[in-house]
Amino acid sequence: MVANEDTKFAVSLLEMVNKKKEEIGKLTNEIIEWEDDPKNIKKIKQSVLSILNAVTFCTDSKSYDLHLVTLSADMVFDVLRPFSNADDPDEVEPDSFGLVITHQIEDFCNYANSWNPIKYDFTEKGWKIEFKNLNIGSIQNK
């Protein structure tokens, strides 16, 4: 009975992670579409934050993957800040929106899409799924 419950739990975790990965994939595709137009800077920032939320939802705070995605998001924001228009921080000057921004955004999207808190181990005796760096909070009533 316990093995059956463990299997159901593992399958539900896999489904949750797959949904988060699909959400991240959709958001990164939108970011790539928006990266050439400086009018989309606000949408890009919002999508980067949404991706960070999706990754942190299922990832242990000590995870290397989380650290890499967070660091890459910081680099995107660091590159976007100096190019912002002084009158409107969410608008970028069209002539300053260049290759540096595009490369940072593409690197961030690559790191975000490579995030995976699940490790697969296919052995001779069968298969094993290990949930590495997976953080599932528990609610305890005292």
> Which token pair is 137?
């909070």
pLDDT, tens only, 10-38: 778 788 888 888 999 999 999 988 887 77
**CA of residue 45 relative to chain centroid, distance:** 13
Q: What is the 3-state secondary structure (H, E, C) of the chain?
A: CHHHHHHHHHHHHHHHHHHHHHHHHHHHHHHHHHCCCHHHHHHHHHHHHHHHHHHHHHECCCCHHHHHHHHHHHHHHHHHCCCECCCCCCCECHHHCCHHHHHHHHHHHHHHHHCCCEEEEEECCEEEEEECCECCCCCCCC
- Nearest C-alpha neighbor of 42 from the set 2, 97, 95, 80: 80
> Which token pair is 108?
């961030």
pLDDT, tens only, 79-128: 877 666 656 655 555 565 666 678 888 899 999 988 877 665 555 555 55
> Using CB atoms within 10 A of its CB, is residue 117 exposed (0-12), middle (13-18) or buried (19+)?
buried
pTM over 0.75: no
Q: What percent of the chain has pLDDT over 70?
A: 66
d(CA 25, CA 118): 17
